[in-house]
Homo-oligomer: A and B are copies of this chain.
Amino acid sequence: MSEQVKTYLKTHREQNLARLNEFLSIPSVSTTSAHKDDVLKAGEFVRDYLNEIGFDKVEIKETGGHPLVYGEWIGNPDAPTALFYGHYDVQPAEPLELWDSEPFEPEIRNGRLYARGASDDKGQVFMHLAVFEAYMKTEGKLPVNVKVIIEGEEEIGSANLYPFLKDNRDLLKADFALVSDSGMVETGQPTMLYGLKGFTGLEVTLTGPKRDLHSGLYGGAVKNPAMALAQLLAGMKGENEKVLVPGFYDGIEHLDEEERRLMNEAPGEDYKRSLGIPETTPEEGFTVNEHTMARPTFEVNGIFGGYQGEGTKTIIPSTATAKLTCRLVPGQDPDEIQNLLADYMKKHAPKGVHVNVKREPLSARAYKVDPKHPLIQSAAACLSSAFGKDTVFVRLGGSIPVVESFDQLYGIPVVLLGFGTPEDNLHAPNESFPVDHFNLGIEVLADYYNECASVDPS
């Protein structure tokens, strides 16, 4: 990139952070309807910024749920077209009492910017916008054509994005997609992601008696739904972390020794220290890196039933519920896995309770790209150069449903350029993002958009 762009970015660091803080101050929590207006407000922030930069066709597009923002700059017919995707919605901030500063009042402490969405994904979306601004304000143009689509429903599964992508093939036509909604394996360790897990979810509620009962008068007559739920869940996963639901592992890829070796070479978090756990517990027969990167998971995201207050309440609860999600690997079909789990629970719930399974409507397949693709290699080079360190290649346990959609619908390669770190506390209290990664990442992106102009994306 030109010296002009470099200088512009260097001299606008404070301004960028200040403007990002505005973006982070909007509590755009998509999962609860109470924040509907805030989600829209965050979309308007993106729309206004794109307009100011000089993008065309900038518009808040209704989707049936939270809207998405579209904008484009396609002033260079000879250059390839990048489709940049991000999201402006965030996870709920609860439990609020565990935050050291207010989740929607950004604060820098020890080189980190603390706020819900700082890393996931407002901070990373903002970096692209800052790069576009720098090019337009200095050179009056971008090095490649860029189409931007920023949605407001990623944290609730992007239900309305897929239909939009399907219905707007021409509008969104591009040579490759670019997504910054992931992280590096360590702070300061440039990382190229070449695979993501898929996702599916369900909620199961066991109902025993139609009201809470006195445990003394009814204990022995009725099945306790909380105990029934424990028994049901315990039957679905062994203490060795193997999922016991028949068919769960059918047809998934075999991990060869070479891929296992590469995964195990990637530096890993010191989980015992950073998380305070007594030991890590990967699936029997696999290492932690192998399990997190390339083996499917089955997790209880929440469990509840009966009395949760202070003191003792001697009841048999009427109901007990578990919220369940799986992360899937290549070879697993999300709908098939959801069916397997739902059928299992209906069939194997202990007698004496009614079983209700609610299927999470949103899902994603796993995604994997060839790490030797020139767009991937070029991105890795930009990362290594800005961070001053060789880039490592890894797969990720997380899911970004849109990546699979770009792959499936448009057949274009997706470049996952993520700048988060393992210490970012994603989806948890005290989410943060290193200010250094924010500034270096902006350099990487300015460099990469420039490099892409001369890469054959096909």
Contacts and interface: CB of A to CB of B under 8 A. Distances in A.
Interface in A259-279: 269, 271, 275-279
Contacts of A428: 211-214, 315
Given A32-B311, A281-B222, A323-B306, A429 B212 contact: yes
A313 interface: yes
A303 interface: yes
Interface residues of A, number: 102
Given A306-B301, A306-B323, A312 B31 contact: yes
Interface string A312-324: 1111110011110
A53 interface: no
Contact of A219 (B201, B226, B360, B397): B397
Q: Say how many copies of this protein the assembly contains.
A: 2
Nearest to A307: B302
B300 A306 contact: yes
15 contacts: A31-B312, A201-B312, A210-B275, A215-B325, A216-B397, A217-B397, A218-B292, A220-B282, A220-B283, A221-B271, A222-B277, A224-B300, A280-B352, A300-B306, A313-B427
Given A210-B275, A218-B271, A221-B288, 19 more contacts: A32-B310, A201-B314, A209-B275, A209-B276, A211-B275, A219-B299, A219-B327, A220-B397, A221-B281, A222-B271, A226-B302, A227-B237, A227-B299, A231-B239, A234-B235, A302-B317, A303-B305, A308-B323, A314-B427
Interface of A: 31-33, 91-92, 94, 98, 156-157, 183, 197, 199, 201, 208-224, 226-227, 229-235, 237, 239, 241, 269, 271, 275-283, 286, 288, 291-292, 295, 297, 299-317, 320-323, 325, 327, 350-354, 360, 362, 396-399, 422, 425-430
